[in-house]
Amino acid sequence: MIRKLFHRVFRRGSVLPSGQSVKNAALIPLARHGIHRESVSPGARRTCEALQKASYTAYVVGGAVRDLIAGIVPKDYDIATSATPEQVRSLFRRSRIIGRRFQIVHVMQGSETLEVSTFRAAHDADTAKDEHGRVLRDNVFGTMAEDAARRDFTVNALYYDPTTQIVHDYHHGVADLKQKTLRMIGEPTVRYREDPVRMLRAVRLSAKLGLTLDPAVRAPIREMAGLMENVPVARVFDEMLKLLFSGHAVECVKRLRDDGLHHGLLPLLDVILEQPMGEKFVLLALASTDARVKAGKSLSPGYLFATLLWHEVLANWENRKARRELPTPALYEAMDEVLDQQGEKLAITRRIAGDIKEIWALQPRFDKRAGKSPHRLLEQPRFRAAYDFLALRAESGEIDQELADWWHEFQMADLAEREAMLLPDSGPKKRRRRRVKKPADGLANVNDAPDAAESRASDEV
């Protein structure tokens, strides 16, 4: 039994998911890949050096290597090593083991957080899977060659050693990257069943890197898109954020739609992109998000999801008002219903949902441009996000541009200029009740009695 356990945890065989034997890695020198060690983050270099000093192998792996070769600054760094999670944890004081299905170690180096994972073995008959073929547990450790074999795309199976500045390439990933082709390691249909999220990842990476999907990678997606329904909603939400905040969201959506792949893969966009005004509004929102990513500006998931779901809310709100529901309660009911529906497919957190609802709830208040209402609206914490949302509505043609322009000028003006900009209050005037002044001794003066009686009668009316 112990021998079987060791065989499963540290297997010697190096087998591809398709059953082919793994060959030795090609060693790509600096002159060919162009990654200088100085371009790798200090935290990643220190982590690899510490592991290597402790007699373990360690490499910068995956997306960071791919992006560096493509001339893109990586957002984060992953490290692959021969050390087990417990061994990694013992080497770094500021570290912690996380995950169940896929156990990794978070190592903190200054302000950086590095994800350090142990080499994984290729999947076999003993791998725990659900009835659809999705892998449920993936903590069987193996060799570096096996680890490369179980990665999804060839461009992600690249291992860079900061010490020697050599890239270890098992599946011709560097060549595929140079040739602008995204190829799968192993049989695509099997790999999609193991993890359906790979379909989303294929679209995101091809858009980000300007790659063409290999026909074998692209062909099964349409018929296998339904497998996304078996993925936990939290993972779908996480992948959606990566896609929408990739800086290439417009291109991603375009590629999904070209082949009808947005149905099932992105449930959030299924209905929205088919609404008369929704498509233009969503594409403008995604283009704005792409511009913010490229400019290095901050991003708000709440704002983005508010734009994606707005026309769902708008349609629901109009239906409720047509049934003679009061406008404000109808809006809140519409917001709750749409968020509840999406909550079944996407794990939108309570905090993000709160931000979304604040932006939506402020929209009707922009119509009030008289009295104290505009001043009070400026004081709202979410005013800026709500105003940007209003400007997007105007740009898409949903509302008159004049309203957005007025609010732009109003927030930039000083107090005197703001007062001059206010529109006349055309609302109904409240009738103030006349107070009857009583004499100090509590007795009405004889001469005042008729007036007092008349005042009481007026009040009763």
- C-alpha 224/C-alpha 275 separation (Å) is 25
pLDDT (tens, 9 = 90+) of the chain, 461 residues, equals 444 444 444 444 444 443 344 558 999 999 999 999 999 999 999 999 999 999 999 999 999 999 999 999 998 999 999 999 999 999 999 999 998 777 899 999 999 999 999 999 875 555 555 655 555 555 688 899 999 998 999 999 999 999 999 999 999 999 999 999 999 999 999 999 988 889 989 989 999 999 999 999 999 988 888 888 888 888 888 888 888 899 999 888 888 777 666 665 555 666 666 666 677 888 899 999 999 998 888 889 999 989 988 988 998 999 999 999 999 999 999 999 999 888 777 778 889 999 999 999 999 999 999 999 999 999 999 999 999 999 999 999 999 999 999 999 999 999 999 999 998 876 555 566 666 666 555 444 444 444 444 443 344 43
The ranges assigned to domains in the chain are: 1-179, 301-421, 432-461
Q: Which amino acid is at 380?
A: Q
CATH number of 301-421: 1.10.3090.10
441 is catalytic: no
Provide Rg for the chain, Cα atoms: 31
76 is catalytic: yes
Q: Which fold has domain 1-179?
A: Beta Polymerase; domain 2 (3.30.460)
- C-alpha 25/C-alpha 144 separation (Å) is 10
Q: Which of 67, 147, 152, 176 is the catalytic position?
A: 152
78 is catalytic: yes
Helix (H, G, I), strand (E, B) or coil at 422: coil
DSSP 100-163: SSS-EEEEEETTEEEEEEEPBPPP-TTS-B-TT--B-----B--HHHHHHTSSBGGG-EEEETT
CB count in 10 Å sphere of residue 369: 17
